[in-house]
Structures are given as structure tokens and as C-alpha cells.
Amino acid sequence: MTALANRAVTAYSALEIETGVAGASPLRLVVMLYDGALKAIYTGKVAMERGEIAAKGSAISKAIAIIEEGLRPALDLNAGGQLAANLMALYQYITGRLLFANLKNDKASLDEAARLLSELRSAWEALEQRARPPEQDPVANAEPRGQIAVGKR
């Protein structure tokens, strides 16, 4: 791919992300943060397996930054009470596992961090789906299988 094509793909990707963020609900933004952290962990694990030290460090650092600069500051300890405090502690634990994984090339720690983040992501996604108005829910608006929609196009 040419340098111009690479820049075009990068610009398109950035625009697509910015567009998604601009129209997202607060709950959707949290899910997107989890997606970014999970993607960074996966990228770090692949780099670790390939022995690409700089790429591994960069990817794991990105996952840590998403947790420390995106997910943790989004918690409202006053309004969230014990649940928010528990999430704060869990984020701290996950960050520790990521730091350990980076330092010791420990795939099991990466897997543990990814599993915990995946479980949290699922919970936030369920909250987001419950909060979504019915007219925006693609599942609620889907046509039943095996039936023909009359008069709809």
C-alpha cells in the first residue's frame, strides 16, 4: 500500500471512530472504551507471541491508558457508592495484571485481564441495550423470521 493510501485509511478510521463517538450515548461510550482496551490487549498478546517487544509494550500501554484515563475517571464514586468503589478496585487490579504481563511476558495475565474486561463489557452492553429506546433497538425492530412483511419496503 502506498503512503498516501495508508494515510487515507488512517484518516477514514479516525473519522469513523469520531463519528461513532459523537453520536454515542454515555453507556455506549463505556462499551467502546472496553472494546478499545480489549483490542489493545489482543494486539499486545499477538506482539508478545511474535517477540515484538516495542509493539507489545505499546499495545499494553494503550490498554492501561484506556483503563486509567477513560474507564476509571468515568466512575462517580459519590453516586455509584460501593459498586463504583468495587469497579475502581477491579480496574486497579486489571492494570496491575497488565503491567505484570508486560514486564514478565506473561500471557496468562493478559488472558485474565481480557476475561475480566470482557465480563464487564458484557454487563455494560446489557445496561446500554436496556436503556436504548425501542425505536433504536435493532433486535426489537427486526422482522420475525419466516414471515413476510406486508406493505413494508
Residue ranges of domains in the chain: 25-129
Q: How many Cβ atoms from other residues are within 10 Å of residue 6's Cβ?
A: 10
Closest by CA to 97, choosing from 111, 81, 80, is: 111
The CATH homologous superfamily to which domain 25-129 belongs is Flagellar protein FliS (1.20.120.340)
Q: State pLDDT tens for residues 43-89.
A: 999 999 999 999 999 999 999 999 999 999 988 889 989 999 999 99
Q: State pLDDT tens for residues 13-52.
A: 444 444 455 667 888 899 999 999 999 999 999 999 999 9
Closest by CA to 58, choosing from 29, 6, 117, 98, is: 98
Degrees to nearest 5, angle at CA 71 with 23 and 33:
45
